[in-house]
Structure 1
Amino acid sequence: MSPQLITTTRAYLRQFKLLRTLMHALRTLSRAPRTRLAAYQQRMRDRHRRRAELQQQRSAATRFQYQQVLSLLTAAHNSDFGELRSTIESVRSQTYPKWQLCIVCDGSLPPAVVAALNRYAAKDARIKVTHGTECSGKSAALANHALRSTSGEFVGLLAAGDQLAPEALYAVVMLLNQQPAADMIYTDEDEVGADGMSCRRVLKPDWSPEHFLAGMYTGSMSLYRRALVTEVGGFREEMEGAHEYDLALRIVERSKHIHHVARVLHHRRGGRSAAGAAAQFTASGAAQRAVSEYLHRNRIAAICEAGVNGVQHRVRYRIAGQPLVSIIIPTAGYRRVVGEREVDLLVNCVQSVLGKTQYHNYEILCISDGDLQQETKQAINDARVSIITFSKPFNFAEKINFGARHARGEQFLFLNDDTEVISGEWLTAMLEFSQQQAIGAVGAKLYFPDGAIQHAGVVIPEGGPCHIFYEYPKE
């Protein structure tokens, strides 16, 4: 191409403002192969790093002081062979080698699938295929059948189609080497779609007895010490549908050594949503019955009710006596526009407490800076309300402590003045928990005026504490 033609072409493109666009396109195209190459090279580096990490685990596993066998129990009821194969291969890929996988068939599988399972068992002595045709469709009975066929020191259920991360059992055994007294261990999990990609993580809290009574949040990957499973009688068939939850409840009442491995090590197959898996344990009448029996066995003065969301249920503790609750409200007497109206925050807060609270034995202490308007004082004039002046320079903590020193109650409740009571049982519900000996503080779910969640607890991820589900929809 001649220099004159190049000059003419550039002038033409500049005239129609196309030169910059063309040059950008050419630069993008020239970078694309390099970008794809860099991404491919990064994937290969990640893959090699992952392989090296897993190989290091295989080597380290041989040096563990604790090297007991872990037994996994899988019920094969109307299961697709592809699902079973994915589960088996995930177990066979474990970097910790001392495991057993017992697959119990209930007569619902085609002969070709049973034959394929038997070939796996013939190839790997750690895999055992048993038949429990008398247990057809009964999950608890199938679990007991598989339990009798294994010998591992720890046992756990693994659903057909679910998979373990290669390092799952290694991480469990590493914890057992650090915490040899552990009796129950659970991990985080996620849901895997048909494309094999993770689409939802379930990151669980560490052990919380109160949370556990509301539902089996420990989920699908839990391992239990066999001696305790045997001691409590295994899976109770009358708790079908909640048999693992019932087993776990009977174990945790005998042991406080419950541990959480905070890593996603269990991949739940798509279609079994987190809510669906939880509902299997908690929404059924069997789950509610299991919790009620737990409360009775442990002489806990409480009842178990169905929850509002159809998944969890609710334990209502009996309040001992009629303790005086001191509601301490620090205030600066501000007004704020909420919606289309101006609101006196303290008046709105106090009147909502007085008008809606069903629990009657409480006092309200409004800790002001001494500048409340007369109309504000008149609006909250009530025998249960005291206005106390804090005359020092602003210090929120000192202001709260000042209020506490003037309080007469057995229980203190600190309340911001920009809140409004929306449920009559709010104070009763909090008192039910604050009276429990093992509980030092209780919080409540808070909503923004538009119904979005403002506060539903605090988590501490990397970067510091934050409100969980902040600005999520109400339900």
Structure 2
Amino acid sequence: MTFAIADSGNDAELHATLASLSAQLCQRFDAVVTCAPSRAEAVTHALLFVRDSINVRLVAASAPASLLELHQLALEHTAETWFGVILAGDRLAPQAVSSIQFTLAKWPDAAVIYADEDWIAEGQARCKPRFKSAWDPEAQLGFDLLDGLCVMKHANVLAAGGFRAEFEPAASYDLRCRVAMPLPCSQVRHIPSVLYHRQVPPIMDAGDTRQAVEAYAAAARRVAAEAAFRQTGMAAEVLPSPIAEFVNHVRRPLPNPAPRVSVLVPTRDRANLVRTCLDGLLRKTDYPDFEVLILDNDSVEPATLSLFTELAADPRVRVLRVPGPFNFSTINNVGVQASTGEVLLFLNNDIEILDGGWLREMVGEAMRPDIGCVGAKLLYGDGTVQHAGVMLQSGPLAMHVCRTDGATDTGLDGRLAGTRDYLAVTGACLAVRRSVFEQVGGFDGEHLPVAYNDIDLCLKVNDAGYRNICTPFASLLHLESASRGHDHVSEEKQQRAQREQAHASTKWIDRFEHDPYHNPNVQLDWLTGAHLAHNAGQRWQLAR
């Protein structure tokens, strides 16, 4: 394993990085330090303080060189199997190399390994931890999941063409995308431990900072556009996220012609909710071809029956009677059999449409061949987040990511600003291709009539080889459980909820015990949000 360090011209920064190499518990690695000709003497002196057991080589450029050119020079002078870059001034945790070696022993087919990170401020205070998920191509396109400590097989880096100057100042992001994105997910491995400490950069003029951020963001969007094209073979528009301009919104194109979407809305009375939901669907939604199936589960109120007659006058709307005890899974399965769309959109009747482009966003994602279920960002009436993806914890607990964060917050690790992979998303607003839904047998009406049916569906879809994602660029209002009420209001509902929870726990115990998208350094609480886990080892302040 070889780490490349490009000298920045600052002696203190170089000494800090080299000292972290000397402090490694495992000494089985090399380092290549590259520098401009004028810095050769100073760098040679700095290398004298590195432990003798570490093989450190100096390669001086033949002429003045940029940091990117120095990184490329180090790559060309590397012969080891693994290659990584450490920026001068940044530091490795003492257990960094040993953790990488352990990961390689556990997963010998890995081609990329990356870890969590934080920052070291003045006075050596640790701050701003970035607790990452398992490999997530959507997160990589959105905001460089592999940034920080990332080692890649040297042969793969060379095959990708090394660093490309035309993508500066995002050339390192470009290289990581070209190396990792084509790989099977099993060959990109995450170490859920903070092994890389970034140096807090010097204070810059506000105008200079703004210019640097804009330059990087613009270059990163070009990187993401090329990577998205390589991923699917179709050009995608890449825009800055409206929540954080440094996060990319990869807008996937719709096929031509756009596939028909069947929107399935179960209800029992609640005319006020249905009217609001259908008004948004029929009047606000900008999509060329969709049908709405209102799945009527024994409505009796005159206002509801009158509304059904009114809505059925629209050729896009059908009312399908599905009598019997409320069973969300069975009702939707019956609706699917009567529908005609290539894409199925399961929608609760207590959803309110906020903008016209939500369905285009979800269908563009759902039509990708490797994507299974697609979820949306759902907001409470007060504007806080109700759902932006589901993480599983032991219990079993299906925890909504960033719940109660503000609608314009970026969320922990930017999860509310860009599209992300999850094991599951809520069925309150879920898009999936009909072929995928039928392949896994639909919802489980026998064991999961009300709760956990969406989790079960998503996990079956994941087991079938598809990735489930949630896009914050489809944002809707959700009055949660307005129709059926909450499960604690009656003994009968509590018993039913307990049976469903027990079934989900037994069937999917391995997923609830280990969700790869949930970083074990973070504990999710339904009421108070994300907190550091008791075993995190360091007391950081979690930033939202």
Tell me the residue number matched to 2:248: 313
RMSD: 2.8
Q: Quote how far apart the aligned CAs of 1:99 are.
A: 1.0
Counterpart mapping for 1:150-189 below 5 A: 150-189=78-117
Partner residue, 2:31:
101
Question: Where does 1:114-153 land on structure 2 (aligned, <5 Å)?
Answer: 114=43, 116-120=45-49, 123=52, 125-132=54-61, 134-136=63-65, 138-153=66-81
Partner of 2:371: 439
How many Å apart are 1:296 and its aligned residue?
4.8
Q: Any conservation in 2 of the 1:241–1:280 contact (CA below 8 Å)?
A: no
CA deviations on 1:330-384 (whole Å, 9 max, x unpaired) are 223337xxxxxxxx11110110111111112111111222225244335534221
Structure-2 residue corresponding to 1:411: 343
Query: CA 1:206–1:98 in 2, change beyond 3 Å: closer, same or farther?
Result: same
How far has the Cα of 1:101 moved from its partner?
Answer: 2.0
Q: Is the 8 A contact 2:141 2:228 kept in 1?
A: no
Secondary structure, in 3 states, of the residue corresponding to 2:179? helix
Structure 1: runs of 5+ lacking an equivalent: 1-69, 336-343
SS at match of 2:376: coil
221 and 461 in structure 1: CA distance in 2 versus 1, 3 angstrom threshold: farther
Q: Counterpart of 2:268 in structure 1: which amino acid?
A: A
Aligned pairs (5 A) from 1:46-445: 70-79=1-10, 81=12, 83-106=13-36, 114=43, 116-120=45-49, 123=52, 125-132=54-61, 134-136=63-65, 138-256=66-184, 257-271=187-201, 283-297=216-230, 300-308=233-241, 309-320=244-255, 321-334=257-270, 344-371=272-299, 372=301, 373-377=304-308, 380-381=311-312, 382-445=314-377
Secondary structure of the residue that 1:230 maps to in structure 2? Answer: helix
Q: Secondary structure at the match of 2:48?
A: helix
Q: Distance in 1 between matches of 2:269 and 2:104?
A: 56
Question: In the alignment, is the contact (CA less than 8 A) between 2:24 and 2:93 conserved in 1?
Answer: yes
Shift of 1:215: 2.9
Q: What is the identity, as a one-letter code, of the residue corresponding to 1:456? A: A
Give the equivalent residue in structure 2 for 1:472: 405
**Contact 1:363-1:384 within 8 A present in 2 as well:** yes
Q: 1:465 to 1:180 in 2, by over 3 A?
A: same
Q: Could you tell me how far apart the structure 2 residues matched to 1:124 and 1:443 are?
A: 51
Distance 2:233 2:193 in 1: 33
TM-score (norm 1): 0.75
> How big is the shift at 1:302?
2.3
Structure 2 counterpart of 1:238, which letter? E
Relative to structure 1, the CA distance from residue 265 to residue 121 in structure 2 (aligned partners, 3 Å threshold; closer, same or farther) is closer
Pair 1:394–1:250, CA change in 2 (3 A): same
The reply to whether residue 456 of structure 1 matches residue 456 of structure 2 is: no
One-letter amino acid matched to 1:100: D
Q: Distance in 1 between matches of 2:78 and 2:95?
A: 22
Q: Take 2:129 and 2:40, find their aligned partners in 1: how far apart are those partners?
A: 34
In structure 2, what is the Cα distance between the partners aligned to 1:188 and 1:171?
Answer: 12
1:282 is displaced (CA, Å) by: 9.3
Q: Separation in 2 of the partners of 1:218 and 1:122?
A: 29
Q: Is the 8 A contact 2:30 2:55 kept in 1?
A: yes
Query: 1:420-440: per-residue Cα shift (whole Å, max 9, x none)?
Result: 111211111111111111111
For structure 2, the 5+ residue unaligned runs are: 204-208, 409-544
> Which structure is richer in relative contact order (CA contacts within 8 A, separation 6 or more)?
2
SS in 2 for 1:460: strand
Per the TM alignment, residue 265 of structure 1 is displaced from its structure 2 partner at its CA by: 1.7
What amino acid does structure 2 have at the position aligned with 1:311?
Answer: F
Q: Distance in 1 between matches of 2:215 and 2:53?
A: 36
Give the secondary-structure state (helix, strand or coil) at the position aligned to 2:225: helix
Tell me how far 1:168 sits from its aligned partner.
1.5
> Does the 8 A contact of 1:185 with 1:223 survive in 2?
yes
Aligned residue-pair number: 391
Say which one has the larger Rg. Answer: 1
Please tell me the residue identity of whatever aligns with 2:140.
F
Q: Normalising to structure 2: TM-score of the pair?
A: 0.66
Quote the Cα distance in structure 2 between the aligned partners of 1:164 and 1:466.
32
Write 1 or 2 for the structure with the bigger share of helix: 1
How much has 1:75 moved relative to structure 2?
A: 1.9
Letter matched to residue 186 of structure 1: Y
Residue 370 of structure 1 aligns to a residue whose secondary structure is coil
In the TM superposition, what is the alpha-carbon distance from 1:194 to its structure 2 partner? 2.3
Question: 1:292 corresponds to which letter in structure 2?
Answer: A
- Which secondary structure does the structure 1 equivalent of 2:135 belong to? coil
Q: Aligned in 2, Cα 1:162/1:101: closer, same or farther, shift over 3 Å?
A: same
Secondary structure of the residue that 2:3 maps to in structure 1? strand
Confirm or deny: 8 A CA contact 1:317 1:433 kept in the other structure: yes
**In structure 2, do the counterparts of structure 1 residues 432 and 108 end up closer, same or farther at CA, with 3 Å as the change threshold?**
farther
